[in-house]
A and B are shown apart, each in its own frame.
Chain A
Amino acid sequence: MTLTGMKKHVGVLEHAGLVVTQKVGRVRTCRLGPRRLDEVTTWLEQYRQLWEARFDALDEVVEELKRRETFNGRQKRK
């Protein structure tokens, strides 16, 4: 993993409350945040993310179907 990639990962974990970071000089230290970080929580979050990615893609497909329907509706009314 690149340094930039790692920074992003840590940023997301911090945003989620999973870790808390503190920068002293050039060193940023991480410790566990207020959110319960156990195996179950992590797995549930992975499960949620898979479905979220899936649903984001489904959203695009559904939006396309909506547009197609509106277009066809207009065609029919002509």
Chain B
Amino acid sequence: MDAKRESEPSPMKNRTTVEQRSERELVVTRTFDAPARLVFEAWTKPELLKRWWVPKSSGMTMLSCETDVRVGGTYRFVFRLPGAPEPMAFFGRYLEVVPGARLVWTNEEAGEGGPVTTATFEEKAGKTVVAVSELHASKESLEAARTSGAEAGASEAYEQLDELLVTQR
């Protein structure tokens, strides 16, 4: 059997890679064929953000999306999960805002000490490399997110996989 050995499951036009950079940090990267200011705009305007943050394939729907993009400003996203009786809210504060270059925010829905997310937008020849780092307070915090995510996310991931299969074939 000639099984493929690459780390990515399938060839995609623009590859999304994930790397565990340390025992408390995960980094996702992707290149967009657009200037950084446009990617940043899509990341910060609520009417644009709500169109992609919760992809249709996740089965979730975004009920509301509020962003006050400035240092100390807050954001609040409310989702409905398939099969969940109550909507779930995700919220936090922006710690750093550098238009077209960098956005740092806290994730406080699980209480204080949640992970801090840093998105960087690096433009090279009209394309933008986006890196999203999720830095947990401790190794244990990342481990806890992984454990709960693995349980809660399993069925959701299969639904996404279903959707990806439909789009790839």
Contact = CB atoms under 8 A, between A and B. Distances in A.
Interface string A5-48: 10011011011110011100000000001110001101111111
Q: What range describes how many residues of A lie at the interface?
A: 35 or more
A53 B38 contact: no
21 contacts: A8-B162, A8-B165, A12-B10, A12-B161, A17-B4, A35-B3, A35-B7, A43-B149, A45-B9, A46-B154, A47-B18, A47-B26, A47-B28, A48-B16, A48-B28, A50-B157, A51-B28, A52-B12, A52-B16, A53-B164, A54-B55
Interface of B: 1, 3-7, 9-10, 12, 14, 16-18, 20, 26, 28, 30, 32-34, 38-39, 41-43, 48, 51-58, 130, 132, 146, 149-150, 153-154, 157-158, 160-165, 169
A5 B3 CA distance: 21
A53 B12 contact: no
Interface of A: 5, 8-9, 11-12, 14-17, 20-22, 33-35, 39-40, 42-63, 65-66, 69
Contact of B165 (A12, A43, A57): A12
B1 to A, nearest CB: 5
Given A46-B153, A51-B28, 12 more contacts: A12-B164, A16-B9, A16-B10, A34-B3, A34-B5, A39-B146, A43-B149, A43-B153, A46-B157, A58-B42, A59-B32, A62-B34
Nearest to A55: B30
- Label chain A's interface by main secondary structure: helix
B161 A14 contact: no
Contacts, number: 128
A53 B149 contact: no
Contacts of A17: 3-6
Contacts of B57: 53
Nearest to B28: A51
B16 A22 contact: no
Contacts of A51: 16, 18, 28, 30, 132
A35 B1 CA distance: 14
A9 B157 CA distance: 12
B56 A57 contact: yes
Contacts of A22: 1
